[in-house]
Amino acid sequence: MKNFTIPQNVAVSDSGFLFLASTGETFNLNEQGTLIYKMLQNGLNNEEIVNQITAEYEISSDLFQKDLDDFLHSLKTFGLVKEL
Amino acid sequence: MENKKRYERPVVIKQYSGFMNKFGSRPVLNPVTTIDGIEVDELAERFGSPLFVISEKAIRSNQRKANRIFKTRYPKVQFAWSYKTNYLNAVCAVFHQEGSWAEVVSRFEYDKAKKLGVKGENIIFNGPDKSRDDLTVAINDGAKIHIDHFDELYELIDLTSQLNKKANVAIRVNMDTGTYPKWDRFGFNFENGEAWQALKRIIAATNLNLVGLHTHIGTYMMQADSYKTAAIKMAQLAAGLKRENGILLDYIDMGGGLPSNNTLIGQYLPAEQILPTLEEFADAISEGLMTLNFQPDEMPLLILESGRALIDDTSKLISTVIAVKRLSDGRRALIVDAGVNLLFTRFWYKHKINPAQDSGVMTEDTAIYGPLCMNIDCLAESLVMPVLKKGDKLIIDYVGAYNMTQWMQFIHMRPNVVMILEDGTVELIRKAEDLDYVQMPEVLPEKFKSLPV
């Protein structure tokens, strides 16, 4: 099971504005992205995120896993998440 | 399931500063969920995707508006529907019901018009390629033959004498109207005197009945003044014919070439902001022709062969997202089920593409590719689109001109075309192709019919 770690110096607002203090870069997250990023900050692993999202939203776990992988890939590219 | 919230793919977008141009970029957020009051989802469910959707109401409204604009500026106006722009029978029939003649450039188009019931005298036969047989049919029908070159002129002289019949003819005139590129490959040149030479030859021929003059100065013309220049030169020829030969022409055909609201590739501002209005084009043409100074009853009929300006914005292409990908540079890419084989105009235009469903406020820089396994199949290199997922629909706008004639069966077959009638009913006007249709003209030699695999 994949686990992730989030850099210390990241601030995310409820509206999805993300500030990476170490580099001064800013990002925008949509509603789903904000929710998932906060889950990552709270230490949830891949399985827990899939379970929570698919319980709450109209999406199957297979389709969501594809989107989650893609989202995590983008986060990794931007240095917003690291895989443990 | 029904209590669950609406899902949108999670997205993170890096913000860049200092790269915006002064106009900013326009996010494509306005969903087009209905066409003429019919739900896009319903249309796609009934007729499949991709799907061309044409509005009868919009065609009639465009033609009536054009009639009004030109007829309030010039006393006698006749439109002739440019078949090559869109020759689906239903489309041509609507234009003919609105009073348009047919403007054709091949025997195939000519026969199509005749089969639809257009009288020979109301068919304008343009183009550089008319065979002896084509010309014979046109002469017998009393069609208006627009001569493109001297070889055609001499063929007509020979043919009419052999048939012992008169042909109604005009010449196509090309000229310098101050635009680039100069269109001098069709017809006879005005400036070097070739047009006069052709007219004199026609007048001298006993069986050629000179009824008009024709020009077509270009395509997607962005300067109304060019039409005024052209109309003045046509008026000079018409005045010369009256003065020197006592000939009063039935008509002057100013051709087409008026632009639609599609934005050209390489054009910075949207077409709506930079193109002259139809009124300005009409002003230019009528002012040019009015230099004739003839008596009102001697003024020739003004014929217009406008195509794209009347049909482009009446049609939309519904397309469905097949896959959502990410490119190596991190940009979003959509694969949709409509390719450039259906959207030939993609090579000239930056098409307007809208989502067909409500979406969140987040946007992504998105490339849109068609389904063909070919690198050229790109519908948009960079559009600011909402977050879309597999199965979502897009509406590609302003696709009425040239796509449903220049489309091709390539890798995929051509889809259904429907027309939404004025009363809201939806009619299938061209069936989607199937394997039998595509293979109908093929002949497989006998020795290839049994294969060992």
Which domains does chain B show, CATH number per domain? 34-53+313-433 (2.40.37.10), 126-306 (3.20.20.10)
Measure in Å the smallest separation between the Cα of B4 and chain A Cα atoms. 5
Q: C-alpha angle B350/B353/B357, rounded to 5°?
A: 175
Residue among A35, A59, A78 minimizing CB distance to B12? A78
Distances (CA, A) of B233 to B164, B226, B238: 34, 11, 9
Q: Closest CB to B15: pick one of A28, A53, A57.
A: A28
Say how many domains are in chain A.
1
The ipTM (two decimal places) reads 0.94
Q: Take residue B172 and report the two structure tokens written for it.
A: 């196509």
Tell me the residues of B at the A interface, defined by beta carbons under 8 Å apart: 1, 4-15, 324, 326, 330, 360-362, 387, 389
pTM of the model: 0.90
Residue A57 DSSP symbol: B
Distance from CA of B44 to the nearest CA of A (A): 22
CATH code for position A33: 1.10.10
CA–CA separation, B279 and B258 (whole Å): 11
Q: Which residues of A touch B366 (CB under 8 A)?
A: none
Contact, B438 vs B72, CB < 8 A? no
Task: Tell me the pLDDT of chain B (453 aa) as tens digits.
Answer: 468 888 999 999 888 776 555 445 555 567 999 999 999 999 999 999 999 999 999 999 999 999 999 999 998 999 999 999 999 999 999 999 999 999 999 999 999 999 999 999 999 999 999 999 999 999 999 999 999 999 999 999 999 999 999 999 999 999 998 887 778 889 999 999 999 999 999 999 999 999 999 999 888 888 899 999 999 999 999 999 999 999 999 999 999 999 888 888 888 888 888 889 999 999 999 999 999 989 989 999 999 999 999 999 999 999 999 999 989 888 899 999 999 999 999 999 999 999 999 887 788 889 999 999 999 999 999 998 999 999 999 999 999 999 999 999 999 999 999 999 999 999 999 999 999 999 999 999 999 998 888
Q: Scanning every residue of chain A, which has its alpha carbon at the shortest distance from the alpha carbon of B324?
A: A67
Picking from A32, A53, A78 by the largest number of B CB atoms within 10 A of its own CB, the best residue to mutate is: A32
For residue B365, give how far its alpha carbon lies from the nearest alpha carbon of chain A (Å).
13
* Residue A68 structural domain: 4-83
The one-letter code for the residue type at A39 is: M
Of B1, B4, B10, the CB nearest to A30: B10
